[in-house]
Amino acid sequence: MKLTFPHMGNVYIAAKAFFEELGQEVIPPPRNSNKTLEIGTKYSQETICLPLKVMIGNFVETIERGADTILLTGSCGPCRYGYYSVLEKNILQDLGYDVDFVVLDPIGEGIDKLKINVYKLFNARNMKDVMEAARLGWKLIKKADYITDLSNEKRAYAINSYEVDVIMDNYYKEVENTFGAKEMMDLMDSTIEKLNKVKTKKDYYPVRIGLIGEIYTVIEPFVNLEIERKLGHMGVLVEKSLTPTIWVEHHIKSFPFGSKIERLKYELAKPYLKTGVGGHGRETVGSAIYYARRGFDGAIQLLPLNCMPEIVAKSILPKVSKDYDFPIMTLIIDEMTGEAGYMTRIEAFIDLLKRKRRKAVNE
């Protein structure tokens, strides 16, 4: 089995090390690029949401490098993600690619098939092997996220924020040259050390923004046009409402009750949205309130064009914004999004937040 998976933020870093450590042959997806998007757009339905298009591009690129098995998480509920695996399999078949799909469906969809897939992927003989592998996976995911978050923090406070980019770009390059968990952990440790050496401003109080919205768009830098970097270079501190760590904590580690923080977001969203609308629509509403309550300066909602759950959330956010006197901007992204217009909107929003802050100080 030559395993691959979609490129989604930093997930590939943890997944590569994890599956290599478990003895699988991994063909990691190359970082998303215009070429990835071009391939995906060419072979997907025009009106399907952007993550599927980028994933198709990923898969074609990795199949061309030898991958024969695609790993994907499944989903249920009122959102297109539930049929991504079926659609993707059909598209690839039509292109003449004969690949296996291993879909890890939610536990609620039936434990037997999930168990077979997990044992196969984890090369596990028993539950003890599964638990050991899960512990390793959790460690890798948490560390990969820690580095991303640390880089965002350092960029906001750095005297020269581009130093952070150099460290992170080297890290991404080096990821390709590592094999297994030990080498990856060592690389991560040395990256953390370098980030901690970046010189930062003293007595600086950055504008704080919560990034909320559709998970893929929030965590995949190619798709969101590197919004974390853009904001960081403007001296803005960014926090994402969704990360792989938050997802695993909520859906796997704290199953069946869910993590404390996500349950809180559900509660906060309730006065505005009582039922789930698929994807992370309800979480987006809850997260906006969560950031408002924590004293953030504003939030930016990111969503791909046509994303059903986020369109519902988008229609509710103006009310949240008014009730909490909390600025929220929505950015809708598709393959036609132009960088210049996108940047202008972000800059205007940050100016507005800074003005609002100054006004509050002078009052």
The contact set with ligand SF4 (CB under 6 A) reads: 49, 51, 79-81, 214, 216, 279, 304, 307-310
DSSP 43-93: HS-TTS-HHHHHHHHHHHHHHHTT--EEEEE---SSSGGGGHHHHHHHHHH
The smaller minimum CB distance to ligand SF4, of residues 61 and 214, is found at 214
Judging by beta carbons within 10 Å of its beta carbon (0-12, 13-18, 19+), is residue 276 exposed, middle or buried?
Answer: middle
How far, in Å, CA of 28 to CA of 3, rounded? 8
The smaller minimum CB distance to ligand SF4, of residues 47 and 177, is found at 47
The smaller minimum CB distance to ligand SF4, of residues 88 and 214, is found at 214
CB of 72 to ligand SF4, least distance (A): 12
CB of 67 to ligand SF4, least distance (A): 22
How far, in Å, CA of 38 to CA of 26, rounded? 24
Q: How many CB atoms lie within 10 A of CB 127?
A: 11
CB of 65 to ligand SF4, least distance (A): 26
The smaller minimum CB distance to ligand SF4, of residues 72 and 140, is found at 72
CB of 276 to ligand SF4, least distance (A): 12
The smaller minimum CB distance to ligand SF4, of residues 49 and 198, is found at 49
Sheet holding 328-333, edge to edge: 237-240, 208-213, 298-304, 328-333
Contact assessment for residue 35 and residue 58, using Cβ atoms and an 8 Å cutoff: no
The smaller minimum CB distance to ligand SF4, of residues 70 and 187, is found at 70
How far, in Å, CA of 3 to CA of 23, rounded? 11
Helix (H/G/I), strand (E/B), else coil: 344: helix
CB of 328 to ligand SF4, least distance (A): 18
How far, in Å, CA of 251 to CA of 248, rounded? 5
Helix (H/G/I), strand (E/B), else coil: 126: coil
Q: How many CB atoms lie within 10 A of CB 180?
A: 15
CB of 90 to ligand SF4, least distance (A): 16
Torsion angles phi and psi, residue 45, rounded to 5: -65, 140
CB of 213 to ligand SF4, least distance (A): 9
How far, in Å, CA of 250 to CA of 169, rounded? 30
The smaller minimum CB distance to ligand SF4, of residues 216 and 247, is found at 216
Using DSSP, how many helices (H) and how many strands (E) does the chain show?
Answer: 15, 8
The smaller minimum CB distance to ligand SF4, of residues 216 and 349, is found at 216
CB of 79 to ligand SF4, least distance (A): 4
CB of 235 to ligand SF4, least distance (A): 30
CA neighbor of 155 nearest in space, from 201, 90, 98: 201
The smaller minimum CB distance to ligand SF4, of residues 17 and 79, is found at 79
